[in-house]
Amino acid sequence: MAQKKEIEIGREHYNWESEILRQGELYLVGGVVRNLLFGFDEESLDTDYLVRGLKLNKLVAILDEYGRTDLVGKSFGVIKFTPKGGKTVDIALPRTEHSTGIGHKEFEVNANPGVRVEDDLVRRDFTINSIALNLRDMSLIDPLGGSKDIKNNLLRVNREGSFEEDPLRMVRGVQFLCRFNLKIDSNTRRYIKRASFMIESVSGERLKDEFNKLLLLSKEPGRGFIFMKETGLLSYLLPELEETFGVEQNEYHPDDIFHHSIKSCNIAPQKLNLRWSALLHDIGKKNTKKEKEGRIVFYGHENESLRIAKNILTRFRYSKRFTANVCHLIKNHMFNITEDCKDSTVRRFVSRVGFENLGDLFDLRVADALSRGDTDSVYNVKWLKKRIEDLIKADSALATSDLEIDGYDIMRLTGIKRGPRVGQILKRLLQEVIEKPDLNTRSKLSEFVVEEYRNNKNIE
């Protein structure tokens, strides 16, 4: 049923929108309408459209006059449309669908310009995503009361069998809970608990997309992991994290490993590598927990944590580069640089971590510290930043790019060709300069290289 206008988005129709409206019906649907009702600016959103009253070939013909079309789902009636000078949007015919297999892998779809908008909306996942905005008269079509649920901050699934049709919807619901700070309908919670085991049928790639939204778009993603623990999802998605629940730590940690991890994740800046690093930085403690002289210790837990983190991120199909970065931060989060350390010790630390990784490592350390009320470690980070700034002002070499000679000089001086050996020599030079800063002149480094490496001497 169409409702009275409830959204003022202050927009004029684009030329292509006007042409579609002249010949058919055009609606904004899904997330864009949901977010407008939540009060977000339309220009910052991904935009999905629904078109009724026009066959697919006719719709494509209209759009071709105004930009580029790509039929990404011809059998589903879905078009990627990029208007001239504009951003790409999704345009689809209304459709009904019926799942015939587990994990949303098999389903029957009926895309038809004559399908009612209401029928297209009710097939979706949650009521807050099942609202359309008629662009002719700006009226809402809201067959399931999604706008009321938005006003009440309530997440409610469209129907009882929705999670069996596509189990990914359970994790999507988790990120909605956190992103929009919603309450969950009691029946929806019950349906998730009942279907939680089915999440194993969903591919890692699809799960990764939802985790990205949970971690990047939520102020406190930790609430989502608690909800997954309560409903049984966590035991299938991140059993390694669930196993840390109730595992007590030493006197420096008031919380068990699980709650410390999610608190750290909440505090970490909203960067994907930092959120994952904070969540997983202590996940190896369960396997390294020992008692020594009456105290609980976790020697080497950072190495066990990075091993587990690598397995988790690989399972969710993150890139090797991203996984390596998260593991590098986890490996180095236990750094111990104090005020009595020599300058050379600080330079070695920067070289080992990588100057480009310092900001993220310090943010991880602060999140870890604040989650357990450790203000001394926060002070240490502030002090160390200043110490490194002073070294930079003193022209200390902290990276190979700070050396007074480069790879081309290495090749000229040694006669070796471009390749990994050049990088090996530069790293060796950096270590020498870290210990002896006065060595970092063009003449001295050139002399050192000729003496050590000319005619491929000492090159492995």
Q: What is the pLDDT of residues 356-378, one digit of tens each?
A: 999 999 999 999 999 999 999 99
pLDDT at 44 > cutoff 60:
no
For residue 324, the model assigns a pLDDT of 98
pTM of the model: 0.86
For residue 295, the SS3 value is strand
Query: How many angstroms separate the CA atoms of 113 and 455, rounded?
Result: 75
DSSP per position, 25-64: EEEEETHHHHHHHHT--GGGS--EEEEESS-HHHHHHHHH
Which of 438, 352, 354, 340 lies closest to 384, judged by CA?
340
What phi and psi values does residue 67 have, to the nearest 5 degrees? 170, -155
Count the Cβ atoms, other than its own, within 10 Å of residue 22.
9
Lowest mean pLDDT among 59-68, 70-79, 203-212: 70-79
Count the Cβ atoms, other than its own, within 10 Å of residue 186.
9
Model confidence at 451, pLDDT cuts 50, 70, 90, reads confident
For residue 240, the model assigns a pLDDT of 98
Q: What is the pLDDT of residues 119-178, one digit of tens each?
A: 999 999 999 999 999 999 999 999 999 999 999 999 999 999 999 999 999 999 999 999
Continuous H helices in 96-221: 117-122, 146-151, 162-165, 168-179, 186-195, 204-217
Domain ranges in the chain?
A: 2-147, 153-237, 269-396, 400-456
Query: How many angstroms separate the CA atoms of 92 and 247, rounded?
Result: 50
Which of 187, 262, 170, 177 lies closest to 225, judged by CA?
262
Residues contacting 97, CB < 8 A, separation 6+? 107, 108, 109, 110, 123
For residue 13, the model assigns a pLDDT of 83
Lowest mean pLDDT among 117-121, 203-207, 412-416: 412-416
What phi and psi values does residue 89 have, to the nearest 5 degrees? -130, 160
Query: How many angstroms separate the CA atoms of 167 and 104, rounded?
Result: 7
Which of 22, 12, 27, 30 lies closest to 123, judged by CA?
30
Q: How far is CA 77 from CA 48, 368, 391, 411, in A?
A: 13, 48, 61, 58
For residue 112, the model assigns a pLDDT of 81
Q: At what angle do helices 320-332 and 358-370 cross, to 10 degrees?
A: 60
CATH number given to 2-147: 3.30.460.10
Is the Cβ–Cβ distance between 310 and 277 less than 8 Å? no
pLDDT at 349 > cutoff 80:
yes
Q: Which CATH number fits domain 153-237: 3.40.50.720, 1.10.110.30, 2.60.120.1600, 3.40.50.970?
A: 1.10.110.30
For residue 218, the model assigns a pLDDT of 96
